[in-house]
C-alpha cells in the first residue's frame, strides 16, 4: 500500500514500476489501435453508433481491470518524495489513457470505493505534485531524495524531468473535463454537488452557496486544490516566460472551467475575487510584457533556436485574450450589476 511505502524493499518498488510501465505501454498501444479502427469503421459504416459498438469489443483491458485496480493506481500519485520518480507519473498517464474511453467512468469508481477522507487525500496528493512541478519544493516539504531503486526499467532516469508530471496532470484534467459532470477533473479540482454541500454546512456558511444556478461548488473541506496552485503559479511574476508550455495548459484549463456549464459560475466568482483583486484583469496587465518579450526574442533569434518557446508564449497570449473575452461576455449577460467588471477588464 502507498501509506506503507517506507517499508517497501527495493525489489518491490522496481516491480511496481515495471508493472505500471508495461500497463502504460499497453494502454498507449491500444489507444492507437482503437483510433485506427475507428477511422476504418467510420469510413466503412455510415452509422457512428454501429462503429462504436464494434470498437467496444476490442478493449480487453477494460474487461480485466476492476474498480479497485483503478483506485489503487490513482493512489500512487502520493508515492515517493522524488519529483523525478516514475511511479506517480505512470499513475497519471494510466488514468489519462483510461479517461479516453467512454465506457469507463473513473469518477464512479472513485466515489463508490473511497470515503470523504480518502478523496481529500487524493486531492491533496495531486495538489502537492502539481505544486512541486510548478514551484519546486517548498520549505515545508522534505528535501529532494533521489532513490536509486526508482530507476526506470524501460527508460533512462535522466530522461524524466520534474515538469513532465504537472504537464501530464493538466492533460488528464483537460481530457476528463470533456466527460459528463461530475467527472474526474472536477473532483480533483475540489468541486462537489451544491446540494450535498448545503446539507452538511451550517446556516451561516450557506450564504456562500446561495447562487441556485451553480450546480458544482468548492468543497469547504478542501483547504487547497490544484486550482489554487494553478492560479498562484500564473500570478507569480515571470511564470509564463519561464515555463510557457505549462502556462499554456493552465490557461486552457481555466478557460475550459469557465466555459463549462457546471463549473462556470463557481470558477468565475473565484477568479473575480482572487487575492483581493481580479485575476483576469491582472493577466491583461501582464500581457504587454509577454508580447514585448516575444517580439524581442523573435527579432534576436535569427536561427530560430527558441521557436517552440515563442510559439507557446504566443498561445499563452491567445488564451489570456480568450479568457478575458469569455469573462466580459458572461458579465454582460448577467446584467447591469456586473458591468463594473467589464469596465475593469477593458480599462
C-alpha cell at 75: 493512489
pLDDT digits (tens, 9 = 90+) for 199-230: 555 444 444 455 667 778 888 888 889 999 99
Q: How crowded is the C-beta side of 120, counted as CA atoms within 13 Å?
A: 10
* Percent of the chain clearing pLDDT 70 (strictly above): 69
* Cα dihedral value 211, 217, 222, 225, nearest 10: -120
Q: What is the pLDDT of residues 140-154, one digit of tens each?
A: 333 333 334 333 333
CA distances from 57 to 47, 53, 269, 290 (A): 17, 7, 44, 49
Q: What is the sign, positive or negative, of the torsion defined by CA atoms of 322, 282, 190, 133?
A: positive
- Nearest CA-CA partner of 328 in 280, 289, 292, 286: 280
CA distance linking residue 232 with residue 221, whole number of Å: 20
pLDDT at 188 over 80: yes
More confident residue, 39 or 284: 284
Q: Which of 159-173, 199-213, 286-300 has the lowest mean pLDDT?
A: 199-213
Pick 36 or 63 by higher pLDDT.
36
Place of cell 494502454: 27
Q: What is the pLDDT of residue 170?
A: 93
Q: Decide if 309 contacts 301 (C-beta within 8 A).
A: no
Q: Look at residue 277 in the predicted model and tell me its pLDDT.
A: 82
Residue 303 contacts residue 293 (beta carbons within 8 Å)? no
Structure confidence at residue 316 as a pLDDT band (50, 70, 90): very high
> Which 3-state string (H, E, C) describes the chain?
CHHHHHHCCHHHHHHHHHHHHHHHHHHHHHHHHHHHHHHHHHHHCCCHHHHHHHHHCCCHHHHHCCHHHHHHHHHHHHCCCCCCCHHHHHHHHHHHHHHCCCCCCHHHHHHHHCCHHHHHHHHHHHHHHHHHHHHCCCCCCCCCCCCHHHCCCCCCHHHCCCCHHHHHHHHHHHHHCCCCCCCHHHHHCCEEEHHHHHCCCCCCCHHHHCCCCCCEEECCCCCCCHHHHHHHHHHCCCHHHHCHHHHHHHHHHHHHHHHCCCCHHHHHHHHHCHHHCCHHHHHHHHHHHHHHHHHHHHHHCCCCCCHHHHHHHHHHHHHHHHHHHHHHHHHHHHCHHHHHHHHHHHC
Q: Residue 164: which pLDDT band, with cuts at 50, 70 and 90?
A: confident
Report pLDDT for 278: 86
Question: Helices 86-99 and 106-113: crossing angle, nearest 10°?
Answer: 120
pLDDT of residue 171: 92
Positive or negative, the CA dihedral 183, 187, 189, 192 is positive
Report, as an integer, the average pLDDT of 129-135. Answer: 86
Q: What mean pLDDT do residues 20-47 have?
A: 75
- Higher pLDDT pick, 249 / 52: 249
Of residues 319 and 100, which shows the higher confidence score?
319
Amino acid at each position: 500500500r502507498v501509506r506503507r511505502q517506507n517499508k517497501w524493499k527495493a525489489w518491490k518498488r522496481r516491480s511496481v514500476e515495471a508493472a505500471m510501465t508495461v500497463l502504460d505501454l499497453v494502454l498507449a498501444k491500444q489507444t492507437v489501435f482503437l483510433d485506427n479502427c475507428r477511422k476504418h469503421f467510420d469510413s466503412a459504416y455510415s452509422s457512428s453508433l454501429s462503429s462504436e459498438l464494434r470498437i467496444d469489443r476490442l478493449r480487453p483491458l477494460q474487461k480485466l481491470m476492476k474498480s479497485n485496480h483503478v483506485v489503487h493506481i490513482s493512489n500512487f500519485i502520493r508515492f515517493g518524495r522524488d519529483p523525478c520518480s516514475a511511479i506517480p507519473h505512470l499513475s497519471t498517464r494510466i488514468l489519462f489513457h483510461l479517461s479516453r474511453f467512454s465506457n469507463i467512468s473513473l469518477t464512479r469508481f472513485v466515489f463508490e470505493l473511497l470515503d470523504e477522507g480518502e478523496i481529500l487525500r487524493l486531492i491533496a496528493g495531486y495538489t502537492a505534485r502539481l505544486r512541486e512541478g510548478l514551484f519546486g519544493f517548498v520549505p515545508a516539504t522534505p528535501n529532494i531524495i533521489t532513490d536509486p531503486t526508482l530507476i526506470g526499467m524501460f527508460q533512462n532516469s535522466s530522461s524524466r524531468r520534474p515538469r513532465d508530471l504537472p504537464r501530464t496532470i493538466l492533460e488528464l484534467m483537460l481530457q476528463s473535463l470533456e466527460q459528463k459532470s461530475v467527472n474526474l477533473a472536477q473532483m480533483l479540482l475540489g468541486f462537489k454537488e451544491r446540494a450535498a454541500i448545503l446539507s452538511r454546512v451550517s446556516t451561516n456558511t450557506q450564504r456562500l452557496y446561495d447562487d441556485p444556478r451553480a450546480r458544482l461548488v468548492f468543497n469547504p473541506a478542501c483547504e487547497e486544490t490544484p486550482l489554487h496552485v494553478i492560479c498562484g503559479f500564473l500570478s507569480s511574476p515571470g511564470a509564463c516566460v519561464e515555463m510557457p508550455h505549462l502556462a499554456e495548459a493552465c490557461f486552457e484549463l481555466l478557460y475550459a472551467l469557465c466555459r463549462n456549464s457546471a463549473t462556470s459560475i463557481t470558477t468565475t466568482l473565484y477568479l473575480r475575487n482572487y487575492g483581493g483583486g481580479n485575476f483576469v484583469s491582472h493577466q491583461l496587465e501582464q500581457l504587454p510584457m509577454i508580447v514585448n518579450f516575444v517580439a524581442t526574442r523573435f527579432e534576436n533569434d535569427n536561427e530560430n533556436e527558441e521557436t517552440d518557446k515563442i510559439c507557446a508564449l504566443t498561445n499563452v497570449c491567445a488564451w489570456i485574450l480568450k479568457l478575458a473575452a469569455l469573462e466580459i461576455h458572461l458579465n454582460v449577460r448577467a446584467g447591469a450589476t456586473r458591468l463594473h467588471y467589464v469596465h475593469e477588464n477593458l480599462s
